[in-house]
A and B are shown apart, each in its own frame.
Chain A
């Protein structure tokens, strides 16, 4: 997509997107969860994103028209397209792709032209999620972020490159890789720098990093066996006290906790002025205040960048202004320097990236608590190519979308699957085991205590339907499990052939998922999907 193609955006300018002059004396720039998306993408936000307990009905658990009403966004407007899911395919034609590292670089340069010492913070999930990141072990993203001029980052999927590669990258980074909650598992001592102090605008600004608390559970712990994570609320309180004692007037938490975890943390740990939220991929047009703490959610996949202008003196934060900048790729000019770097990293893989595998008649997207059409495609591929009765696919929140009529390239396929433990296993599971798995994952998503939430979506299931009461306690949320092919209830004692991918177990056997899905796309030629109504939701 070139500039100026999106008819709906005629008249919109970079200046209008970026907003007025920097206020105050300290500026933060936040990007997070880019998942290695160097190029502009389509990315449909979820239509179902349920909150439980105190978070029920609260942002970010508000979608569709409710979301637009809550924030006073005009339906079908550019911001409605960017932030919600209604009419996505049609609005995508009007407003074009979003993101792209070269566009982000342009915005960062413009912001720094006004405030040269703006602090650029990367919330993590940066080095994973594309073919080029997979092939270069994240080097394409590392080089791009270095050129962008990051001042500090935190992490999650970074560690799925394996600890040796992470150490190699971190040792060479020109900025700190922060994680107050990352500990050496053997001696229980901090393993990474917890924070960095920046002197800006005459005050000290502390940036504390918090990595994803559940890395060894959600991802393969054998890839980083000597590290321990966790929410570690007491540790966070100690670090906040420590930076205040060192003279910080502004305390920023660069977090990969997930939004609901951050909301709870903010209510229990005093002294944090701003939490830059990540992991759960929410995009909110304004801060959510918890007491005096501003929670800021800057989206994912390069769609948005947040600027936060703060007026602070020695006594603390006086005022804060936030702007969620949508990166409309057809409005923002590519930065030539970054565009050249990106082109250089893509060039060795050009033939592979552009290889057409088929096309899609359906809108393919991933976000949503229970299913997404891209996952439906992956599940179909697993069942047909691996000859399985039932398929399971993780509830990942990364992976851009494709519009009806789009060709599916190898790049598109890898954008939805590229990771370091892709084996598509095939095994036997009893109905009882399937129930245990669904209950376990449901509790990771719907436990009313945010500190027990891991921030993904529900495991996607092919070949089987079920009913879920999201408000029920663990062990009794999932009922009416049905084998769709036969229409029979799932028998707890019977063994079913199950295919899946992304097992966290070491030594899982099977072809990489991208080969399985490629074979399926090539055999069908054109992807068509039935509406998926196999999950019945209650208690929301």
Chain B
């Protein structure tokens, strides 16, 4: 699935201790495993099953996903920014693929 592309909206800067909102999207069909193709055969399940966000290596937010999450999974969450650091994102696909992105948040 070469076309799968994560996108993230996060602030570039924050003040120490500020609570900021992070939004993420990844293009993915989230094939539920319950649909049938035109010949009546079940289309196998293939979804993003895990999303994780870490800040300087520490887990901030994670989600276990089931097939009832919509196509192109979207997450919004909030975090306290203690210091300048790297917010790293990881999406795990049923087929074993891992998609990543990262954003640096600078505390002035």
Interface residues of A (CB under 8 A from B): 186-188
Contacts and interface: CB of A to CB of B under 8 A. Distances in A.
B42 to A, nearest CB: 25
A228 to B, nearest CB: 12
B35 interface: no
B5 interface: no
Contacts of A188: 23, 74, 76
B107 interface: no
B45 interface: no
8 contacts: A186-B25, A186-B74, A187-B9, A187-B23, A187-B25, A188-B23, A188-B74, A188-B76
B11 to A, nearest CB: 14
Interface in B70-95: 74, 76
Interface in B23-65: 23, 25
A234 to B, nearest CB: 15
A235 to B, nearest CB: 15
A186 B23 CA distance: 10
A187 B10 CA distance: 12
Q: Sorted from nearest, which 8 A-B pairs have the closest CB atoms?
A: A187-B23, A187-B9, A186-B25, A188-B76, A188-B23, A187-B25, A188-B74, A186-B74
Nearest to B25: A186
A186 B75 CA distance: 11
A186 to B, nearest CB: 7
Contacts of B74: 186, 188
A189 to B, nearest CB: 9
Nearest to A185: B74
Nearest to B23: A187
Interface in B1-35: 9, 23, 25
A244 B76 CA distance: 29
A69 B85 CA distance: 71
Contacts of A186: 25, 74
A402 B9 CA distance: 55
A186 B76 CA distance: 12
A186 B25 CA distance: 8
Contacts of B76: 188
B24 to A, nearest CB: 10
Contacts of B23: 187-188
A302 B34 CA distance: 51
A187 B9 CA distance: 9
A186 B74 CA distance: 8
A187 B76 CA distance: 9
Contacts of B25: 186-187
A186 B9 CA distance: 12
A281 B76 CA distance: 38
A95 to B, nearest CB: 54
A285 to B, nearest CB: 46
Contacts of B9: 187
Nearest to A186: B25
B78 to A, nearest CB: 14
B69 to A, nearest CB: 16
A188 B74 CA distance: 10
B107 to A, nearest CB: 24
B75 to A, nearest CB: 11
A186 B26 CA distance: 11
A187 B25 CA distance: 8
B48 to A, nearest CB: 17
B88 to A, nearest CB: 21
Nearest to A187: B23
A155 B104 CA distance: 40
B23 to A, nearest CB: 6
Contacts of A187: 9, 23, 25
Given A187-B9, A187-B23, A188-B23, 5 more contacts: A186-B25, A186-B74, A187-B25, A188-B74, A188-B76
